[in-house]
Structure 1
Amino acid sequence: MEIHERLALVYQRLRDLPPARTAEEALHQLDTTLTKVEDEHSGVPFNPNAGLASDGRMYFPREDFTTRHPDGSVTALTKGQVITAQPNGELTITSRRTGEVVYHRPGAK
């Protein structure tokens, strides 16, 4: 599968999950969903020490590119996206190139 197809599958699977209640839960859902889709469809083995150069697989943002804010929100950066998780579990993924929201998922009420 091409990377854009795998990303669409990640977003679809996230929609099928119950809404997250916290920022950390939203990020955990994204991490586990992304990893599972990549394990199933990328054809590239998981590298626990993946660097910044692409090996053809998508990875969850590294901890050194993740900022936990005092209000409980979290911002994580990837090569092409900004991931923002709010304290209520709301998840927004924005393109770094265009500034457009490419995925949004409300958190639990």
Structure 2
Amino acid sequence: MIGDGLNDAPSLKKANVGISMGSIGSDISIEASNITLIHDNISDLPHLFKLSRKTLKTINVGIAFALILNLIATILAMFGLLNPIEGAFVHNIGSVIVIIYASSLLKYK
């Protein structure tokens, strides 16, 4: 749901994703929405959708990477091939890699 006025607030609140216009929208509709377009330019929507898809992909890849890395580390630890200190190191390195990968979203403005 995309809205810009006071009467859109209830619909924006109930929608799966509510998008309001920043400068022309009312404070109530801005607060009720999930996303606010600051420049009130409807042509920004394709960029918003692209960024949303990229964000979901980044989240899924990060979670999958962390799960696989931790699963491998757990299996290695079960067989005595990875001691607790090394396991903690692997876990922290994995977290840093996920954070660095997630920071790739910062280039989208």
TM-score normalised by L of structure 2: 0.30
More helix by share: 2
TM-score normalised by L of structure 1: 0.30
**Higher RCO (C-alpha 8 Å, min separation 6):** 1
More strand by share: 1
